[in-house]
Amino acid sequence: MTTALTGIKPTGTVHVGNYLGMYRPALALAERFDARYFIADYHALTTVRDPDELRRLTIEVAAGWLALGLDADRHVFYRQSDLPEVFELAWILGCSTAKGLLNRAHAYKDAVDDNVAAGRLPDDGINAGLYDYPVLMAADILLFDTDVVPVGGDQRQHLEITRDIAGAFNAVFGEVLKLPDAHIEKEVEVVPGLDGRKMSKSYDNVIPIFAAPEELRKLVMRVVTDSRPPDEPKDPETNNIFNLYRHVAPGDDVARMRQGLAQGGLGYGEAKQMLFEALDATFAKARRRYEELMTDVAGLEEVLADGARRARALAQPVLQRVRDAIGAGPRLA
């Protein structure tokens, strides 16, 4: 059966952009495929330095997956740091990965560009974890003979790098690793945030999906608009409110908002209220479930522990195949 795999870093509040770009397509794939979904807590170490914060965020992400509908009995759901096989494979892959490939990774290039623009040395403040991030991500994926990876558009390059890393390894050691494909929802490659830029925790422009209704409404009312009056026609395709609404509202309601904006007569205040109501309706059930799950941290830890046991059972044969290929032989018990 086809295997789908993806993970999310516990680096902040789960927001609408995460849901549209990753959670929703991942949960849809889990209806058809075998899913291996994980919390990428070691990836988060590139930026998270507070151990209590990392533990809290990890539990929040676990609760979020389950609240949104992931069936942890049917699928394998685990915490990355519970699988030592991931990190052994990362080292092996790193030894076959060209440095030039990592030099081209967006996250590293962006950090270098920021330093240069600020008059700092190119690598100032950049840790090796950020630089090696694509190798660890490749290990996450390749360890499970993954067929498809649901990701947001901004992660496309990471999948391309993963395929390059696997290809380079296979070129030396034979056809050992399966090359995965990306699954990207074209219509949500870029989800606008409160300020119109891509919704991102780094821009502080996100709409958390588990926010209480009163907080959710306040955030929606902050969505940036222009100063045109209600009766003036507006282009729905460039409208921040509409470009969020279209992803969470029923089709008939989307058509009505489109018409109201395009023909005039729909003011931004009314449109924002419609967006708030659609978001609240979309996430109300999941929010209640999330709040319940967060009262039972021990239960969430049990779910992750069970997932880790199942994940390791799947990962170990693949890692052994890699070890045999490089000449390392069987692992000692």
Q: Given this model, what pLDDT does residue 107 score? A: 92
Q: Could you tell me if 274 and 321 lie in one domain?
A: no
Residue 56 lies in a domain: yes
Q: What percent of the chain has pLDDT over 90?
A: 87
pLDDT digits (tens, 9 = 90+) for 52-90: 999 999 999 999 999 999 999 999 999 999 999 999 999
DSSP 71: -
Which residues are registered as beta bridge partners of 79?
39
- As beta bridge partners, residue 208 has 15
pLDDT of residue 189: 65
Are residue 110 and residue 259 in the same domain, yes or no? no
Q: Is 8 helix (H, G, I), strand (E, B) or coil?
A: strand
To the nearest 10 degrees (0 to 180), the angle between helices 106-117 and 128-142 is 170
**Does the predicted TM-score (pTM) go above 0.85?**
yes
Please tell me the distance from the alpha carbon of residue 19 to that of residue 175, in angstroms, as a whole number: 35
Number of domains in the chain: 2
Cα–Cα distance measured from residue 314 to residue 333, given in angstroms and rounded to the nearest whole number: 17
Asked if residue 201 belongs to a domain, the reply is: no
* Position 333 confidence tier, pLDDT thresholds 50, 70, 90: low
**For residue 152, is pLDDT > 70?**
no
Is residue 331 domain-resident? no
In a domain, 70, yes or no: yes
Distance, in Å, from the CA atom of 184 to the CA atom of 153, rounded to the nearest integer, reads: 6
Q: How far is CA 106 from the centre of its chain?
A: 16
Residues 186-224 have pLDDT tens digits of 766 678 999 999 898 888 999 999 999 999 999 999 999
E strand map for 9-118: 34-39, 76-79
What backbone phi and psi angles, to 5 degrees, belong to 15?
-125, 175
Task: Tell whether 270 and 150 lie within a shared domain.
Answer: no
In a domain, 197, yes or no: no
The confidence score (pLDDT) of residue 72 equals 97
Structural domain that includes position 223 = 210-290
Angle 251-256-259 from CA coordinates, rounded to 5°? 125
Confidence of residue 12 (pLDDT cuts 50, 70, 90): confident
Q: How confident is the model at residue 34 (pLDDT cuts 50, 70, 90)?
A: very high
Q: Give me the sign of the Cα torsion angle 50, 315, 60, 282.
A: positive
What pLDDT is recorded for position 188?
A: 62
Q: pLDDT by residue (tens digit) across 107-151?
A: 999 999 999 999 999 999 999 999 999 999 999 999 999 999 987
Bridge-partner residues for 4, per DSSP?
A: 35, 148
Mean predicted lDDT score pLDDT of the chain = 94
DSSP class of 124: T
CATH number for 220: 1.10.240.10
Give the pLDDT score at 298.
Answer: 98
What CA–CA distance (Å, rounded) separates 293 from 290? 5
* Phi, psi angle pair for 162, to nearest 5°: -55, -45
**Residue 247 scores a pLDDT above 70:** yes
We report the CATH number of the domain holding residue 64 as 3.40.50.620
